[in-house]
Structure 1
Amino acid sequence: MVEAFLIKGAPLPNAESEPPWDAVIARSLAYQAMHLAGLADATMVKRAQFLMTLGLPRADAAAMLGSNDESLRVQINQAKRKAATADAK
């Protein structure tokens, strides 16, 4: 029931529901790993790619970074196009 635990604006569980602790722990560890890797000041795309490499879905990575899935998808595609253009030169 509480899918968006540890994400900005996520609802807190009520007394009757139990949060999915494995997801909570995974998100917490991914967040810590991102900061330990020195990505706290990196671009959103780099941080999202790091979190997705750790196994988080793009939607979860976007929510953890204060964005949404569609916006992050567009940003990643723009970064790929920019890198491809730079490589072609």
Structure 2
Amino acid sequence: MIRGEAYVPEEANDVWLSVIGKSLAYLCLKQAEQADPDRMSGVLAKVKFLMGLGLSQDDAAAAAGSTAQSVRVMKIRKRSSSGKKKKKRRTS
């Protein structure tokens, strides 16, 4: 160990890297909202953007100001209202 260099366990590095990554994703979201507010108007658009940056749906929902459960419900409602038909199940 070099003199003056602090020893940090590997687990602590993983935690901090996760925090830094989520913080940068949040800053990117805020910058995208300023650049194109119409495109980032809804929670689903924000979650999709954050998931594109590599966040999980749970983390993306939290950063967008929602919960993972409500995002899941919004996705289901959007899918059902878009006109896509559900596949019929075969009954034997």
**TM bracket (short chain):** 0.5 to 0.7
- TM-score, normalising length from structure 2? 0.61
SS in structure 2 of the partner of residue 36 of structure 1? helix
d(CA) in 1 for partners of 2:79, 2:26: 24
Residue 28 of structure 2 is aligned to residue 33 of structure 1:
yes
Give the gaps of 5 or more residues in structure 2.
1-11, 85-92
For residue 17 of structure 2, the aligned residue among 9, 13, 22 is 22
Residue 56 of structure 2 is aligned to residue 54 of structure 1:
no
Query: 4+ residue stretches of structure 1 with deviation over 4 A?
Result: none
Higher Cα Rg, which structure: 2
Give the gaps of 5 or more residues in structure 1.
1-17
Count of equivalent residues: 69
- Contact kept in structure 2, 1:45 and 1:79, CA below 8 Å: no
Q: Deviations over 1:26-81 (max 9, x none)?
A: 11111111121126651000000100111100011112223221111111222233
d(CA) in 2 for partners of 1:69, 1:63: 7
For the aligned residue pairs, the C-alpha RMSD in angstroms reads 2.5
**Percent identity over paired residues:** 34
Which amino acid in 2 is paired with 1:71?
S
